[in-house]
Structure 1
Amino acid sequence: MFIRSQREIALRLLAGSSAAVLAFGLIPAAFAQDATSATPVADGQVAPAAQSASGANTAPSGDQGQGVEAAAAPGGDDIVVTGVRASLRSAQAIKRNSDQIVDSIVAEDIGKLPDRNVAEALQRISGIQVTRNYGEGSSVAIRGLTQVRTELNGRDIFTASGTGTSLSLEDIPSELLAGIDVYKNPSADLIEDQLSGTINLRTRKAFDFDGFKISAGVANTYYDLARKSQPTASVLLSDRWNTGIGEIGVLVSASYQKTVFSQDTISTEPFNTLDPNDPDAATRAASIASLATLGRTGQVTTLPRGTGIGQVNGARRRFGIDASLQWRPTDTLEFTGEVFRNDYKFRYDDFSYFAQPTEGVTNVSPLPGAPFTFAPNGDFQSGTFQNIRVAANTSLENRHSTTTDYSLNGKWRPTSNLTITADGQYVDSKTTRTRSIVGLNGNNDGTLFQDISGDVPSFQITTPTGLTNAATYGSAFYLDNLNRSRGKDKTARLDGEYKFDNSVLRSIKLGVRYADRSNLYSDTGYRYTGLNAVPSQLEFADFSKFFHGDADLFGNALLFSRGITQDYDLTRATLGITTLPSYLPSSTTTQSQKTYTGYATAFFNAADLPVPIDGNIGLRVVQTKLAVAGFYQQTDLITPPGGTAQVTGPTTFVAAGNKDDYTSVLPSANFRAHLTERLQLRLALSKNISRPDLNQLNPSLNITEPGRAQIAQLQYTSGGNPNLKPMTAKNVDASAEWYFAPTGSLTVAGFYKDISDYIQTGISNRAVTFTDGLTANYSVTSYSNVSNAKVKGAEVAYQQFFDFLPGPLAGLGAQANFTFVDSQAPSPATEGPVRDLPLQGLSKYNYNLIGIYELGIISARVAYNWRSKYLVATSSNGSGNLPVFQKPSGQLDASITANVTPHFSLTLNAVNLTNTVRSTFYGITTRPRDSIMSDRQIAGVARITF
């Protein structure tokens, strides 16, 4: 019902603006007026001053906010197109005239992408699905696959991490970008290493502008769950001069963002099955006893292993700077040097409060005589349990990432037919991370009432001493973990293109590329310190505003001081821990990857055929040399002489690694048929690869003995597989594209991918016995090349401005797209009622509805994004080996801008107006996992441009 009400809100808003109602019914009218209002475009050529795309580098967007495009008007005057119309027209021109299947987003003005976050902006493109992290889009899947390549101006860009192969999209300030291009099928001149597509982030250059340019913006955003506001500022300065040594241009842009967030979560612990016919005698006896207490003798029944809540309060800080120098000594020679640096800080402190079974007990104990309710399939819905132990964790996480990209490009046109381009790049990326957790363990005397039958689960906890009494806790422990990453990339490439005159063969491109990528990852592992007593630095936690006060919870409780937890050094000092965890030789993993590439692409244009056809045919050959090295590491706990609490003991380790060398031959062909001046068909055939990321190849496995309070629980760890092979995909893409107006189009696309050696997660169970004689059971997640996977689907996209409507209605416009993606792949190892799993992160259905209004000084947009359920994880911390799915969900965002003068504007942005609660479940909806609420955001923005 909640999801349905969100859809109704979005549809009513769109219908209220007439956009949804008019979207398809008035296309013919728009087509009829196109002949008089649009710049003519024939034979697939770009309209005057519009953008074009060729090969891996899309042409710069220019000054989109200052009338870069003009349409011929009656009487010989020009109609200057600006704002949203200009950005949509430019993006449409890129899509229409590209040699590949491309979708684009173009900033409507300097520092003004349609969304503040790069991933949030990308979700408006058909075929793209976004995953959110603490209220912000953080990663994307293209056409159902997460193996996405990220580029900056057609070059490598990445964030150093355990993965180390792609860019974390939440790190980049969107104000630095002129546009984003998404290549959905490869051609030979595009860099390999993606299954689903390439995301190319484009920055501006001084030669994009006619002369001096300055633009600046300030914003303040309020976050309603965090009940705080934070500032954002950006500035761009650019100029160009004619000098005695040629034309020189300099551009510097910078962006500073501070954001906060709060996220509330209500969790249900994994479900265990009570089976009266369980083959294990001990388990069967325990199940029969519990079923008798429940009055369900002989019936298979599931019970959750408790419940809990969590609250995260955090902050992000982004500082990005882009500086470029261009020099054009002659009309045939141009050099561009650029430094792009991004500095990202992420931190949060949180608490979690759980009610769980008694130590060493697998199942919760039903309270005899208490009423229980069950779903028809035997899944628990409500009831009361006894012998419950409460537990409270208070924690901190910090991440600091910096990425600096140095590049130098030279372009020489010795003749009008020949262009030679040389390009060099060096990327240096660093990340450090700190994790710190103080845990409190309660006594085994609590009672829990739990009800999971509603949209938001509720529960009540009682103990003999009361939740606000320190005597509720009987023991405490401390965990901390440090890790650091350093990634470097050196690349060089040389490309040449020769154009032919009056020939079906339009041009030939040849190129070579060398890349040397290295990554070093060090992790201390989690250090466990048992505390001899429960800390005295406890504070009351007020849960009255949890879930905006809409949650039915147990009242307040005592936690370790969150003010102390926010400072890692202070936390250790308070607990009497004077040392830092050690970076042992065994905690370091190194990876080296070198690639040697050559390609050739022929571009043709058979314009004299009854149906003109153009396109390209090419071949890319890549040799990859790979080396990875790491260790198996095991750390035991010991009890010091005279002490009672366990502490981290000796670590043993064994070296592991692998070297590999393979060559990939990747053909591609792209064809476009011009059925009419405005209607074209595309067909693309290609083969491409996606190499395993560095985390998947990591040979290291880290085992740390759990404390006595956790030894009976299932433990979790993960490691990579250094013997993984790259995934190979054979692709067929087709589309029909109708461009009936400069900002009006209707496109339909279909795709099919046949993937070999698909990398899937697998889960194995391992019993580890430590030197003190205790044994812990570990669920180990790793990776393997399963047989094949297939992905197929279709996309429909539409956009239009209704200029032909009378009066104020002429400012109305609409965008809509829908994506269907289906997959077939071997299911990873998992447990529970659902074992046949789709690809992780894949929603079968996804759509966007966007209503636009732009007339006079007002520009407004309402955007609703919805995606169907998808697999979040095959297993995760606290979920056992059960798969976790997210329920269908949607989000409504809006913005309105007043262009007060040609140089000054005011904007009001709103994000997550629907206050969407995102819910997850263990395989089937009667077994809920998490209910998650994040902030709604309201931002005011002021911007000047001269």
Structure 2
Amino acid sequence: MKNSSHGPAAANQGGQTPTLKHIVAALAGAGLIGASAGAWAQTAPAAPADAAEAVPAVVVVTGVRNAAKSAQMLKKNAEQVVDSIVAEDIGKFPDKNVAEILGRVTGVQVIRQNGEAGNVVIRGLGGVVTLFNGREMFTAAGRNLFLADVPVAMLQRVDVYKTQGADMVEGGTAGVIDVRTFKPFDFKDGVVSFAGRVEHRDKSGSYDPNLSGMFSKRWKTGMGEFGALAGISYQRGRYHDETAWVSPPMKIDGGVTGSRAMGRVMGNGDRKRLAGNAALQWRPNRDMELYADVMSTKIDHVSQSIFFVGDLPIFKGGVVTKIPGTNYLNTITHPGASEFTLSSTQARDDYSMGTQGALGGRWNITPKLMATTELVRTVSNYRQENPIVDVVDFSVKPMSAGVRDGGGFLDYPGYDMGKPANWTLFGLFDNHNHSEGRSTDWRADATYDFESDGLLKELSGGIRLADRSAQYIREKDGYRPAPAGISAATLPGMSCLSARTSGDYGMSQFYAPCHTYLLSNTDTIRKAFGSPGRSAEDPLSSFKAREATTALYGKAKYGFELGSIPVDGNVGVRVVKTALEMDGFSRNGDGAPPSPLAIKANSTDVLPSLSVRAHFRHDLIGRFMAGKAIERGIFGDYNPGLTLNTPTPTTDAVGSAGNPNLKPQEGINLDMALEWYFSPTGSITTAVFSRDFKNFIRRKDELETHNGVSYRINRPHNTTEGNLHGVELAYQQFYDNLPGLLGGLGLQANITYMDGGLSEMDAATNKMVTNTFAGMSKISYNVVGLYEMGPWSGRLAYNWRDKFVAEYNYRGLGSNLIVAPIKTLDASLSYKIGKDVTLSLDANNLMDSPYNDYHGVAELPRDIRRYDRAIGLSLRWKK
């Protein structure tokens, strides 16, 4: 392949031109040379065949500087607006899972709970496609992969695409997250590595292992070159989360605005993840490569949430004080009240198993024509057992309560809240559900390189056929009230105490049913509540979906000179035909039996895209991107069935339903970027973006009457319109010119500003109103200090995101649920012992920062949540 006079190579003429060796080493470290055909197919450009023959396939990056250099090279050479995080070495990332890694990426925001980061949004939106080595990946009946389930031990890098090209898998209006793993040809020869880590969490008091190993080898034979890789990872994580909560505001004694109840949520769990991956590659000659790979993850997660509810004596003579200068409740006390007091253990046993296998290859048919193909099979299963037991205490007891440090303070001085005899069985929720997903995908692509200096540089096109199925079902009428007067002490094996609270929110411990007993002795619990056995499954919750998609794309790369400025890019279009069939159940009126219902929905979407890249200098690049993206609702959103809970003294009358008429969400995306790469590890980049949405999918509550009861029903809807706009700024540099030990310092910093929202008709005023996107912080930033000098390397990372609205019109009560700014500080320090062994110390949540949300104003809090601080010590060996 010839070098074009209009691309990045030509742009280097304005400055120092790196040697071929340096270019290849940088591309190799970034994973762009010698990758499997899965990387070539529709997501990344192929490496030139002559370059692959001229040098070893890939030299794996090691060290903080090289990881930063590789990530910067990926961003600079990408056709789209992309940010990447590259492994510093095999198994060496700054975090334990993919979701936590992404919290450092410009424009990406995460929420931590249950011992780790989980929820991920890009530029304030959750419409994210998750790929695994360029292939669509998902968890059970969902659309996306739960990223926290991917351990970092097997990762080469993670790419976050904020714009999409015609050759990329459709399905996300916010962006694409592509998780890339190592392949045998990524290494020059053979590699054996092992990593062991022990982690201590302060609130759970646990010491847990994290073990991983990988073997990779290449062989040259008379039949060509072969490569094989195998890896395994085991993680255990025991965690403790705690919450002090306050119920929604209302008028209480003396006209004060306060709450009806306060309480706790004490959560802890034991999560075990076992993951394995394997890959084979065969290159019979320079023009052909075949590969096979497989990845599988199994998660066993036993956990509990203990809810404590203490009603306040708000109309029974309690002494009330107000927060100075306000009419809001500060404290309430009573010498002896018989208010409703409840302890509820929600026990959960979650099991998830996901496997994806792929076969594929590439063939250089002629020096100008290359073809790739890939066949992928994905299987994912999930099930949950979720028994819940409520116990109550109506004894007369003194009470002291109030608002303290953003949460609810609740105490019963002089009364033993941990004594089983004080508690009575109240209710059983016999909950369970299971779901599964299957898919078979085939794709084929062809690329023709014109090898000319004309306007048209390359033509590519391809087809993708995907057959996806999903199904789900949950329990029906799982609630059973307890027979009157049965003491919790009659089931002695069920008696436990909650974990101690780390914050000062009143009582430290209280009685709670043991979650392990509930899971292991569910039948015994059922008998105590007079239940004949396991609750039946609810046909109205059930659905079986099959979705067939056919996607065709065409893309043309071009290049020309605008005056003295080289310009290149691509223009393309992707046409996607989607056929959805869903079998579910509906009910024709209150009290009618469920009747089967089949739904069919077909759509054809045309998704054009344009990329323009201007090389103002060898180190200064401008970009303009435009395109259309779609996002389909999750399968459950189309389920015609309406499921209603059984209203009880402790649960509201709520329900959920799908919307068979739901349309795909559409987004028109515009991005402009300017990127200055002033050194191999130094850059300043900025991007301005705009998103216009049509048929934006959101869920909202509406009141409906069923069987004479008013239920708050949650359904998905297509809103009228929406828009999002903002700007990102990122900076990276290593200060090599500083004297002595200071020369090891580096800095990464980024900030994102966003604004916009959804426009909808307000039913109360009959006027259009615009609200910001739920879950979107207008401002977020990261500051990461880096160090690498000799055998030492380190990282200190601070993340901050502005307040955001978690839910509008919370529970239909008129106020919005707002989350206060979130900040986290993490750190890591490594020392290389010889050339093969590295010792590392890392810490998360150093500041013990809480999560705090409130009902409209900070003086009316809902939750203060505190999570573990974790410290890990690890030893890595690589040969």
Instruction: Name the TM-score, length of structure 2 as normaliser.
Output: 0.90
Alignment-mate amino acid for residue 426 of structure 1: R
Aligned runs of 1:38-77 on 2, under 5 Å? 39=18, 47=26, 49-51=28-30, 52=32, 56-58=42-44
Is the counterpart of residue 350 in structure 1 residue 301 in structure 2? no
Aligned runs of 1:538-577 on 2, under 5 Å? 545-546=500-501, 548=502, 550-554=503-507, 556-567=509-520, 569=522, 572=525, 575=528
SS in 1 for 2:759: coil
Aligned counterparts of 1:319 and 1:415: Cα–Cα separation in 2: 43
Deviation at 1:143, TM superposition (A): 1.0
Q: Say which of 826, 834, 847 aligns to 2:781.
A: 847
Which residue does 1:109 correspond to in 2?
Answer: 89
Deviation at 1:114, TM superposition (A): 2.3
Cα deviation 1:267-307 (Å, max 9, x = unaligned): 101222x4xxxxxxxxxxxxxxx6xx51x4xxxx5321210
Is the counterpart of residue 534 in structure 1 residue 487 in structure 2? yes
Contact 1:837/1:871, CA 8 A, preserved across alignment: no
Alignment-mate amino acid for residue 653 of structure 1: P
SS in 2 for 1:438: strand
Cα distance change of structure 1 residues 457 and 582 upon mapping to structure 2, 3 Å threshold: closer
Deviation at 1:471, TM superposition (A): 5.9
Is the counterpart of residue 917 in structure 1 residue 837 in structure 2? no
Is the counterpart of residue 368 in structure 1 residue 342 in structure 2? no
How many residue pairs match? The answer is 840
Q: Say which of 577, 589, 592 aligns to 1:623.
A: 577
Which residue does 2:835 correspond to in 1?
Answer: 902
Contact 1:147/1:195, CA 8 A, preserved across alignment: yes
Is the counterpart of residue 383 in structure 1 residue 332 in structure 2? yes
Aligned counterparts of 1:741 and 1:750: Cα–Cα separation in 2: 23
SS in 1 for 2:417: coil
Cα deviation 1:518-560 (Å, max 9, x = unaligned): 10101113511222223323677667841x2x31313543333
Deviation at 1:404, TM superposition (A): 0.6
Cα distance change of structure 1 residues 318 and 270 upon mapping to structure 2, 3 Å threshold: same
Is the counterpart of residue 434 in structure 1 residue 385 in structure 2? yes
Aligned runs of 1:230-379 on 2, under 5 Å? 230-272=208-250, 274=251, 293-294=253-254, 296=255, 301-356=256-311, 365-368=314-317, 370-374=319-323, 378-379=327-328
Alignment-mate amino acid for residue 747 of structure 2: A
SS in 2 for 1:695: helix
Deviation at 1:374, TM superposition (A): 4.7
Aligned counterparts of 2:55 and 2:754: Cα–Cα separation in 1: 36
Alignment-mate amino acid for residue 91 of structure 1: A
Which residue does 1:746 correspond to in 2?
Answer: 684
Alignment-mate amino acid for residue 353 of structure 1: F
Contact 1:194/1:689, CA 8 A, preserved across alignment: yes
| More divergent stretch after superposition (245-254 vs 448-457) | 448-457
Which residue does 1:732 correspond to in 2?
Answer: 670
Contact 2:320/2:330, CA 8 A, preserved across alignment: no
Aligned counterparts of 2:644 and 2:187: Cα–Cα separation in 1: 57
Q: Say which of 588, 602, 615 aligns to 1:661.
A: 602
Aligned counterparts of 1:69 and 1:144: Cα–Cα separation in 2: 42
Which residue does 2:357 correspond to in 1?
Answer: 406
Is the counterpart of residue 927 in structure 1 residue 860 in structure 2? yes
Aligned counterparts of 1:540 and 1:634: Cα–Cα separation in 2: 45
SS in 2 for 1:467: coil
Aligned counterparts of 2:864 and 2:416: Cα–Cα separation in 1: 26
Is the counterpart of residue 166 in structure 1 residue 144 in structure 2? yes
Cα distance change of structure 1 residues 613 and 396 upon mapping to structure 2, 3 Å threshold: same
Which residue does 2:4 correspond to in 1?
Answer: none
Which residue does 2:470 correspond to in 1?
Answer: 519
Q: Say which of 435, 450, 458 aligns to 1:507.
A: 458
Q: Say which of 557, 562, 565 aligns to 1:603.
A: 557
Cα distance change of structure 1 residues 788 and 435 upon mapping to structure 2, 3 Å threshold: same
Cα distance change of structure 1 residues 219 and 470 upon mapping to structure 2, 3 Å threshold: closer
Aligned counterparts of 1:749 and 1:452: Cα–Cα separation in 2: 43
Is the counterpart of residue 809 in structure 1 residue 742 in structure 2? yes
Cα distance change of structure 1 residues 136 and 466 upon mapping to structure 2, 3 Å threshold: closer
Cα distance change of structure 1 residues 111 and 508 upon mapping to structure 2, 3 Å threshold: same
Aligned counterparts of 2:22 and 2:67: Cα–Cα separation in 1: 22
Aligned counterparts of 1:60 and 1:857: Cα–Cα separation in 2: 35
SS in 2 for 1:564: helix
Is the counterpart of residue 422 in structure 1 residue 373 in structure 2? yes
Instruction: Name the TM-score, length of structure 1 as normaliser.
Output: 0.84
Deviation at 1:445, TM superposition (A): 4.9
Cα distance change of structure 1 residues 562 and 651 upon mapping to structure 2, 3 Å threshold: farther
Contact 2:140/2:382, CA 8 A, preserved across alignment: yes
Question: What residue ranges of structure 1 are gaps of 5+ in the alignment?
Answer: 1-33, 62-67, 71-78, 275-289, 358-363, 637-649, 770-774
SS in 2 for 1:207: helix
Cα distance change of structure 1 residues 830 and 259 upon mapping to structure 2, 3 Å threshold: farther
Contact 1:634/1:702, CA 8 A, preserved across alignment: no
Identity, % of aligned positions: 31
Alignment-mate amino acid for residue 332 of structure 1: D
Cα distance change of structure 1 residues 417 and 259 upon mapping to structure 2, 3 Å threshold: same
Q: Say which of 185, 193, 198 aligns to 2:176.
A: 198
Alignment-mate amino acid for residue 236 of structure 1: M
Aligned counterparts of 2:303 and 2:654: Cα–Cα separation in 1: 23
Alignment-mate amino acid for residue 668 of structure 1: S
Cα deviation 1:639-672 (Å, max 9, x = unaligned): xxxxxxxxxxx99424445311111111110000
Aligned counterparts of 2:713 and 2:702: Cα–Cα separation in 1: 5
Is the counterpart of residue 182 in structure 1 residue 195 in structure 2? no
Cα distance change of structure 1 residues 879 and 171 upon mapping to structure 2, 3 Å threshold: farther
Q: Say which of 791, 797, 807 aligns to 1:863.
A: 797
Contact 2:630/2:666, CA 8 A, preserved across alignment: yes
Which residue does 2:51 correspond to in 1?
Answer: none
Which residue does 2:807 correspond to in 1?
Answer: 873
Deviation at 1:744, TM superposition (A): 0.5
Which residue does 2:50 correspond to in 1?
Answer: none
Deviation at 1:101, TM superposition (A): 1.0
Contact 1:730/1:753, CA 8 A, preserved across alignment: yes
Aligned counterparts of 1:398 and 1:830: Cα–Cα separation in 2: 41
Cα deviation 1:482-514 (Å, max 9, x = unaligned): 111110111111100000112331111111111
Aligned counterparts of 1:345 and 1:369: Cα–Cα separation in 2: 46
Is the counterpart of residue 691 in structure 1 residue 637 in structure 2? no
Cα deviation 1:8-38 (Å, max 9, x = unaligned): xxxxxxxxxxxxxxxxxxxxxxxxxx989x9
Aligned counterparts of 2:740 and 2:690: Cα–Cα separation in 1: 45
Aligned counterparts of 1:123 and 1:900: Cα–Cα separation in 2: 30
Cα distance change of structure 1 residues 780 and 496 upon mapping to structure 2, 3 Å threshold: same
Question: What residue ranges of structure 2 are gaps of 5+ in the alignment?
Answer: 1-13, 33-38, 48-53
Cα distance change of structure 1 residues 892 and 501 upon mapping to structure 2, 3 Å threshold: same
Contact 1:619/1:667, CA 8 A, preserved across alignment: yes
SS in 2 for 1:92: helix
Cα distance change of structure 1 residues 474 and 342 upon mapping to structure 2, 3 Å threshold: closer
Deviation at 1:133, TM superposition (A): 2.5
Cα distance change of structure 1 residues 825 and 757 upon mapping to structure 2, 3 Å threshold: same
Is the counterpart of residue 100 in structure 1 residue 80 in structure 2? yes
Contact 1:919/1:930, CA 8 A, preserved across alignment: yes
Aligned counterparts of 2:653 and 2:875: Cα–Cα separation in 1: 51
Deviation at 1:881, TM superposition (A): 6.9
Aligned counterparts of 1:211 and 1:122: Cα–Cα separation in 2: 31
